């Protein structure tokens, strides 16, 4: 029966079997010291002169990263040798038998430190090694812990977790979509979701009322330290709520998360301050200002809500490849204008002055999440799409399903999406989100571990009816 290394203290005076990796080997002649690790921790083992010849011979050839099964006696250290503040500092494992489960080549790089001094591309190419280091292990386990906390929190509030489709139609989100060809429907394409936006609104039409999902989203755009072409967002939508109620629920959950899982962190101001987009731009020249009083304090968290965003901007300011008209949206086309601007929307007047019920949650200068109260009436959404330059044909083709749903009796609703990777990145004080994702891509969107993106075969292209015209 295997004993986890973290539980060895319960076995003092007894024999135990552990399984894991050789972390460090130190040969001191008559004694061989071996540090072992598994996911739960580390322990020092010692091979004494009285061990069997077979065990001694095996110990002499062991090297770091070999995978082993160790049978040993758990001995209490003499008081003078106790290592305070260290897991298993009060004990030592007397090695009785060693079974090699798998040998290992010399690692491409040292995994004992935090690894930040190592070329990132090498780390990403050998991610299975980089993942073994304590920092990455802690990041991934903390990510899982936060995810489970949030899942329970939403379920306890009567939210329903729903998985929405990955193969869908392009959704206008202000970025380019990844396109997937269909073999069965030759000449037709799916798009990978930039967000579950349309589906979550349709869930509100379907009477779900409270929805959440840890959603995989894909955007074919330039990457930065806090972005990835494939990322995870915590998606939330609620019916029969006001903007203030949506913000309140999110604020409550964030405060509880920090207090329970990150007690060392301090939230600068509760309740979170609320500033308008105009105020933020005039005072800070940014719509995601860093309001921390001490930016050198790694445990200080400054949240704020930024509200009252302009709904539209000139297309010359947009990177949206689908933008066709004079105007485009600043965040998404599904937001609902503030009521005092609704008549201007329908009259298509003062378009640049229309404000939307859009709100961003900002954390230490990063946009943690963005959301809005949505349009839930067909004619209101149709006016937005007309302002964006969509023809009647395109409106029907791309959004007809939403208009029909809204005409079937859709409640007022709204929501938000958190950048989950970004949240973890900030909480663990990492410089970019690649450090909190198990298998991240480079800043150029490449997966160096499995070498993607990669060409496909001519046979596959022919089957899909695709001819390549590559730019040289």
pLDDT at 319 over 60: no
pLDDT at 172: 64
Domain segments of the chain as ranges:
5-102, 129-458
Question: In terms of DSSP bridges, do strands 312-314 and 327-329 run parallel, antiparallel, or are they unpaired?
Answer: antiparallel
In the chain, what percentage of residues exceed pLDDT 70?
96
Query: Which candidate, 240, 267, 264, places its Cα nearest to that of 253?
Result: 267
353-370 pLDDT per residue, tens:
999 999 999 999 999 999
Question: In terms of DSSP bridges, do strands 160-161 and 67-76 run parallel, antiparallel, or are they unpaired?
Answer: unpaired
Q: C-alpha 5: how far from its chain's center?
A: 29
Q: How confident is the model at residue 132 (pLDDT cuts 50, 70, 90)?
A: very high
CATH number of the domain at 129-458, please?
3.30.930.10
CA distance 359 to 280: 13
Q: What is the DSSP string of 150-214?
A: HHHHHHHTT-EE-PPPSSB----SSSPPPEEE-STTTT-EEE--S-SHHHHHHHHHTT--EEEEE
Question: In terms of DSSP bridges, do strands 413-419 and 31-38 run parallel, antiparallel, or are they unpaired?
Answer: unpaired
> Mean pLDDT, to the nearest integer, of 379-384?
97
**Among all chains, which residue has been given the structure tokens 């943690």?**
368
The residues with which 41 forms a beta bridge, in sequence order, are: 38
Judge contact between 287 and 281, C-beta under 8 A.
yes
Reading phi first (left if > 0) and then psi (alpha if -120 to 50, else beta), residue 310 is in: beta
Q: How confident is the model at residue 221 (pLDDT cuts 50, 70, 90)?
A: confident
pLDDT at 225 over 70: no
pLDDT at 169: 85
Judge contact between 307 and 273, C-beta under 8 A.
no
Predicted TM-score of the model (pTM): 0.92
What's the topology of domain 5-102? OB fold (Dihydrolipoamide Acetyltransferase, E2P) (2.40.50)
Cα Rg for the chain, rounded, in angstroms?
A: 28
CA distance 279 to 93: 62
Q: 12 is written with which tokens?
A: 């003092």
CA distance 372 to 335: 6
pLDDT at 36 over 80: yes
Query: Which candidate, 201, 241, 177, places its Cα nearest to that of 333?
Result: 201
pLDDT at 276 over 70: yes
Which alpha helices (DSSP H) does 214-341 contain, by range?
243-261, 277-284
**Alpha carbon distance, N-terminus to C-terminus of the chain:** 60
pLDDT at 226: 60
Q: 309 is written with which tokens?
A: 């965003």
pLDDT at 223: 60
CA distance 371 to 388: 20
pLDDT at 96 over 90: yes
Judge contact between 41 and 88, C-beta under 8 A.
yes
Q: 165 is written with which tokens?
A: 């489709």
46-83 pLDDT per residue, tens:
999 999 999 999 999 999 999 999 999 999 998 888 88
- 321: Cβ contacts below 8 Å, ≥ 6 apart: 176
Instruction: Determine if the peptide bond prior to 194 is cis (ω within 30°).
Output: no
pLDDT at 380 over 70: yes
280-314 pLDDT per residue, tens:
999 999 999 999 999 999 999 999 999 999 999 98
pLDDT at 218: 92
Q: 111 is written with which tokens?
A: 């995994």
Q: How confident is the model at residue 174 (pLDDT cuts 50, 70, 90)?
A: low
């Amino acid at each position: 029966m295997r004993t986890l290394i973290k539980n060895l203290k319960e076995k003092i005076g007894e024999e135990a079997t552990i399984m894991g990796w050789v972390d460090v080997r130190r040969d001191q002649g008559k004694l061989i010291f071996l540090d072992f690790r598994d996911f739960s921790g580390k322990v020092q083992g010692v091979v004494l002169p009285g061990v069997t010849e077979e065990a001694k011979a095996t110990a002499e050839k062991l090297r770091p990263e070999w995978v082993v099964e160790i049978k040993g006696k758990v001995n209490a250290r003499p008081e003078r040798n106790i290592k305070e503040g260290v897991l298993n500092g009060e004990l030592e494992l007397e090695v009785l038998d060693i079974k090699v489960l798998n040998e290992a080549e010399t690692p491409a790089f040292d995994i004992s430190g935090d690894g930040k001094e190592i070329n990132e591309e090498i780390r990403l190419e050998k991610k299975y090694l980089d993942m073994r280091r304590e920092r990455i292990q802690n990041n991934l386990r903390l990510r899982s812990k936060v995810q489970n906390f949030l899942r329970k929190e939403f379920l306890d509030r009567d939210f329903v977790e729903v998985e929405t489709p990955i193969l869908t139609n392009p959704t206008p989100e202000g970025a380019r979509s990844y396109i997937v060809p269909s073999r069965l429907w030759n000449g037709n394409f799916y798009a990978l979701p930039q967000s579950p936006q349309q589906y979550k609104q349709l869930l509100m039409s379907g009477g779900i009322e409270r929805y959440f999902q840890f959603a995989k989203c894909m955007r074919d755009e330039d990457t930065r330290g806090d972005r990835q072409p494939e990322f995870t967002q915590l998606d939330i939508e609620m019916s029969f709520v006001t903007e203030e109620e949506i913000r309140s629920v999110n604020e409550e959950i964030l405060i509880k998360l920090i207090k329970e899982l990150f007690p060392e962190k301090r939230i600068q101001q509760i309740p979170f301050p609320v500033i308008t987009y105009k105020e933020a731009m005039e005072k800070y020249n940014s719509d995601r200002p860093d309001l921390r009083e001490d930016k050198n304090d790694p445990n200080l968290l400054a949240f704020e809500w930024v509200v009252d965003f302009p709904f539209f901007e000139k297309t010359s300011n947009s990177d949206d490849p689908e933008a066709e008209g004079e105007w485009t949206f600043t965040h998404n086309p599904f937001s609902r204008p503030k009521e005092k601007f609704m008549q201007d929307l329908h009259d298509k007047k003062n378009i640049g002055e229309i404000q939307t019920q859009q709100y961003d949650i900002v954390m230490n200068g990063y946009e943690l999440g963005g959301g809005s109260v949505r349009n839930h009436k067909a004619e209101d959404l149709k006016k937005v799409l007309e302002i964006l330059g969509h023809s009647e044909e395109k409106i029907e083709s791309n959004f007809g399903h939403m208009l029909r749903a809204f005409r079937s009796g859709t409640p007022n609703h709204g929501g938000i999406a958190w950048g989950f990777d970004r949240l973890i990145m900030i909480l663990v004080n990492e410089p970019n989100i690649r450090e909190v994702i198990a298998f991240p891509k480079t800043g150029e969107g490449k997966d160096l571990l499995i070498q993607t993106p990669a060409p496909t075969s001519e046979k596959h292209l022919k089957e899909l009816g695709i001819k390549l015209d590559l730019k040289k």
